[in-house]
């Protein structure tokens, strides 16, 4: 099995740089925010973080490609190989620009179509999560102050904490009614949104996290963390994510039930 220890160490260095940039701009009075063509916001912190990460990767991993939310795909001079990094410089930009501390930088390494290593750094929360195939999943303030994490053992929806992003997105996807049914049957439901629900799942603090629409940079870093923590991660078709741009992440025990209930919505 391949070792990704060096890649995880590099991801932490990238996150150190990202954190220093983003925290300096968080709640800054002169923060610049613009609307992208899809009308989603982008701040000067988003672009600065991605540029800095790309600069380090060009020196440290010159043979690897890079896909980022703000600047797209770049290939190394020798051409695209099997490995590429996927970057979301600030996941939760709307939180960031409003001063809500739930946002983070997502860094993933992919081999072909498979995410093999991922790191999420949420500096305003003072916490990171990371994992890689064969290495397990961990959380803590930094790499030297970390604990191994694992998903919960909850087996019944009636005992489960259920998390989602937003109900309007599920309505647009034509799956609002089964979503409401799951929420009624679950022990508890909350909309934490963005990366945070997935990380709480990986820690065992909740049991299910679902989203109907995602981009690769939203999800690539999350998959190795959740799966190495013992969880299951597929799209709405039951295919292993990144898949079609949707996500069902669970502790594994509840996956078939959640997938079945959401799939039957459009059957």
> Binding site membership for Mg(2+): which residues?
69, 88, 90-91, 218
Alpha carbon distance 158, 45 (integer Å)? 41
The answer to whether the beta carbons of residues 178 and 262 sit under 8 Å apart is yes
Give the count of beta carbons closer than 10 Å to the beta carbon of residue 266: 10
Ranges of beta strands (E only) in the chain are 33-35, 41-43, 65-68, 72-74, 83-91, 104-111, 114-122, 127-132, 136-142, 145-148, 161-164, 188-190, 208-211, 232-234, 247-250
Biggest CA-to-CA distance, the chain:
54
Report the residue count for the chain.
Answer: 267
Binding residues: 69, 88, 90-91, 218
Alpha carbon distance 76, 113 (integer Å)? 18
The answer to whether the beta carbons of residues 130 and 7 sit under 8 Å apart is no
The DSSP output letter for 131 is E
């Amino acid at each position: 099995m391949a070792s990704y220890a060096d890649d995880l160490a590099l991801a932490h260095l990238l996150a150190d740089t990202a954190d220093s940039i983003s925290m300096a701009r968080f709640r800054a009075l002169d923060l610049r925010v613009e609307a992208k063509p899809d009308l989603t916001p982008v701040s000067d912190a988003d672009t600065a973080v991605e540029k800095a990460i790309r600069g380090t990767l060009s020196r440290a991993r010159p043979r690897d490609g890079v896909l980022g939310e703000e600047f797209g795909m770049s290939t190394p001079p020798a051409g695209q190989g099997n490995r590429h990094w996927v970057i979301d410089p600030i996941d939760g930009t709307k939180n960031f620009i409003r001063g809500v501390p739930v946002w983070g930088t997502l860094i993933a390494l992919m081999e072909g179509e498979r995410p093999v290593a991922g790191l999420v750094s949420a500096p305003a929360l003072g916490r990171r999560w990371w994992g890689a195939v064969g290495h397990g999943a961990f959380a803590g303030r930094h790499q030297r102050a970390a604990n191994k994490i694992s998903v919960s053992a909850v087996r019944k929806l009636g005992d489960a904490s259920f998390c989602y992003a937003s109900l309007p997105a599920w309505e647009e996807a034509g799956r609002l009614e089964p979503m409401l049914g799951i929420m009624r049957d679950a022990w508890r439901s909350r909309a934490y949104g963005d990366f945070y629900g997935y990380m709480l799942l990986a820690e065992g603090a909740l049991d299910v996290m679902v989203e109907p629409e995602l981009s690769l940079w939203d999800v690539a870093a999350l998959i190795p963390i959740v799966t190495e923590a013992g969880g299951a991660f597929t799209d709405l078709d039951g295919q292993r994510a990144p898949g079609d741009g949707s996500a069902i992440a669970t502790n594994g025990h509840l996956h078939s039930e959640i997938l079945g209930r959401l799939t039957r919505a459009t059957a």
